[in-house]
Amino acid sequence: MNKRLLESKMKLHGDTNASLAEAIGLSPQSLSSKKNGTNGKEFGTSEILCIKERYSLTAEEINDIFFAC
């Protein structure tokens, strides 16, 4: 997970943790846990798809954000 890249997309679109969390159906705490990988938390497919649509992400951007090693 490339937290910095996701946060740059959020800022580019004027989102905060709270606004993105609400848009994808999470609490701000859950979003933060998933961004930080706390307790093994990861974004699910439906959450990734919502973020993809919200930010018009390409397949490459999806890979760079969510599947970076």
Tens of pLDDT, residue by residue over 15-35, are 999 999 999 999 999 999 999
Q: Give CA–CA dist 2/5, Å, rounded.
A: 6
Residues 6+ apart with CB under 8 A from 57: 9, 51, 65
Residue 2: band (very low, low, confident or very high) from pLDDT cuts 50, 70, 90: very high
Q: What is the pLDDT of residues 32-57, one digit of tens each?
A: 999 999 988 999 999 999 999 999 99
- Cα separation, 25 vs 38, in Å, equals 18
**Whether 48 contacts 62, CB under 8 Å:** yes
Please tell me the predicted confidence (pLDDT) of residue 16. Answer: 97
The pair of structure tokens assigned to 41 is: 């938390």
pTM for the whole thing? Answer: 0.93
Tell me, what's the pLDDT at 39?
87
